[in-house]
Structure 1
Amino acid sequence: MAHTARSRRTTAALTALSIGILALTACNGDVDNDVATPGTHASPSATGTDEGTDMPSSAEPADGDSGSGKSSDSPSTPPSSPKPGADDDQDGGVGMCETTDLTYNVTVASRPVNHALLTASNKGSDSCLLSPNELVITIPGLDGAAGHMGPAGKDWILKPGESAYAGIMFSRADTAGGKSADKVEVALAASESPVTVPVNDGPVTVNDSQVTSFFGTAEDALTY
């Protein structure tokens, strides 16, 4: 009987020991599985970044670089140069004065005798280029245009409201006779149609008419 009881206790102990070994083996297996296959909650994100870190990103541009590859201090495009002829002191872009662009006044001069002063004024809103040596003066009813006297002038800009002057000699003091006239015809070039201008303080006697180039003052125009 004593032998039988010890056998049962031994068997029970062995059975308990076997159960413990099996339990321990099962626990170790679970630990190995946890190490081999960690849960997703422990995996760091492959693309995520820690917003609390102070480490600079390699994609951030360096100081002074806008990130576009251009320096913020790069100079701007220089302004365009002014267009030719914009300045009235240049003849580029300024058209020739035409006869109808100007107004005219002819007044008998007190000196020299048998002379009159022609005043031509720019009545338009634009400057024009006046050619002083092509002025044509004719007397209605007389053949031919007045001859030229005095020095040749130079082309110059006649601005709006400005005037140019020419002297007209109707007759020579040493020449007798002539035709009476109270108007003249004025054209800035032989190719243009003339305008008829009355002679203030006329009529005048015409027998050998001549005209100067245009000048900037009345005194210069009446010198010849």
Structure 2
Amino acid sequence: MAHAARSRRTTAVLAALSLGILALTACDSEAEKDTAAPSATANPSNTGTDQGSDTPPTNGPDDDSGGSTPPPSEAGADDDQDGGVGMCETTDLSYNVTVASRPVNHALLTAVNKGSDPCLLPANELVITIPELDGAAEHMGPDGKDWILKAGESAYAGIMFSRADTAGGKSADQMEVALSASGSPTTVSISGGPVTVNDGQVTSFFGTAEDALTY
């Protein structure tokens, strides 16, 4: 009887141990499954790069949408022959009259644009008047061509006071100069004078003193 009781206790202990081992094995198996299973929550940072974006693209220089700046337009040329430059007035220029050594009985008129802007010089309308003499000096030599006289630029005209074959005349140490018959004259002293005047003549304006004193 005692032996049978011990046998039953031994069997019960072994059964309990077997159940404990089975329980531990089942727990380990569940833990391994949990570790191996992938996460069900998607990570936003791992999304594919080929998905669309809500931000519009930036316009490049060649875009038709106006992203580029057009180059500045070139200034248009004036269609007028004088380029829109106004006529020279008598008061726009300063004047100097100097007696020339050659030819005899001649003087050189130098006119300088004293302003800061260019002006259109009327080459053939120059009026020279000697005080106390009737009328203006007559024109001599070829006609010149009007041109734009830049600021600080000079123009030249030759003046003949008397002919060698003409006797007599009046003495003068100054003269009046106007760029046209309608302009108000300005009085200019004759450097190297006085001179004897009996048959005054004047050339057109030229670009050099040499050309002006040729006639």
Same fold (TM over 0.5): yes
Question: How far has the Cα of 1:155 moved from its partner?
Answer: 1.4
- The one-letter code sitting in structure 2 at the alignment partner of 1:134 is E
CA contact (8 A) 1:66 1:72 kept: no
Identity %: 71
Q: Does residue 79 of the first structure (1) align with residue 72 of the second (2)?
A: yes
Classify the secondary structure of the residue corresponding to 1:219. helix
Classify the secondary structure of the residue corresponding to 2:124. helix
CA contact (8 A) 2:127 2:181 kept: yes
Match of 2:111 in 1: 120
Q: After alignment, is 73-82 or 183-192 more displaced? A: 73-82
CA contact (8 A) 2:87 2:120 kept: yes
Selected match of 2:166 from 139, 163, 175: 175
- The one-letter code sitting in structure 2 at the alignment partner of 1:77 is P
Question: How far has the Cα of 1:73 moved from its partner?
Answer: 10
After superposition, residues 67-146 of structure 1 pair within 5 angstroms as 70=63, 76-84=69-77, 91-146=82-137
Question: How far has the Cα of 1:52 moved from its partner?
Answer: 3.9
Selected match of 1:53 from 43, 47, 54: 47
Can you list the C-alpha shifts for 1:130-165, whole angstroms capped at 9, x where unaligned? 111111111111121111111111111212221111
CA contact (8 A) 1:61 1:67 kept: no
> Which segments of 5 or more consecutive residues in structure 2 lack a partner in the other structure?
1-42
Distance 1:191 1:223 in 2: 28
Q: After alignment, is 52-61 or 118-127 more displaced? A: 52-61
The 4+ residue runs of structure 1 with deviation greater than 6 A are: none
> Which segments of 5 or more consecutive residues in structure 1 lack a partner in the other structure?
1-48
CA contact (8 A) 2:59 2:65 kept: no
Backbone CA RMSD of aligned residues: 2.9
Q: Does residue 206 of the first structure (1) align with residue 197 of the second (2)?
A: yes
Distance 1:57 1:210 in 2: 95
Can you list the C-alpha shifts for 1:29-67, whole angstroms capped at 9, x where unaligned? xxxxxxxxxxxxxxxxxxxx95542254445589xx536
TM-score, normalization by structure 2: 0.70
TM-score, normalization by structure 1: 0.68
Number of aligned residues: 172
Q: Does residue 158 of the first structure (1) align with residue 135 of the second (2)?
A: no
